Amino acid sequence: MGAGAGAGAGAGAGGDASAATDMAKPPIFDGTPSKVARFVGACSLYIRMKLRNIPVEEQVLWILSYVQGGSADIWKENVIEELTAGEIEFELAGEFLAEIRKEFGGGDEESVKVAELKKIEQGERTMEEFVQDFKRVARGSRYEGHPLIEEFKRGMNRSIRRKLMEAEN
Q: Digits of tens for pLDDT over the chain (169 positions)?
A: 443 333 333 444 444 555 667 889 999 999 988 888 899 999 999 999 999 999 999 999 999 999 999 889 999 999 999 999 999 999 999 999 999 988 887 656 677 778 788 888 999 999 999 999 999 888 878 888 989 999 999 999 999 888 888 887 7
Please check whether residue 118 is in contact with residue 139, taking contact to mean a CB–CB distance below 8 angstroms.
no
pLDDT of residue 4: 39
User: Distances from the Cα of 114 to the Cαs of 58, 78, 162, 163, in angstroms?
Assistant: 35, 31, 25, 27
pLDDT at 17: 52
Helix (H, G, I), strand (E, B) or coil at 28: coil
28 and 69 Cβ atoms separated by less than 8 Å: yes
Report the predicted TM-score, pTM, of the whole model to 2 decimal places.
0.57
* pLDDT for position 1: 42
What pLDDT is recorded for position 70? 84
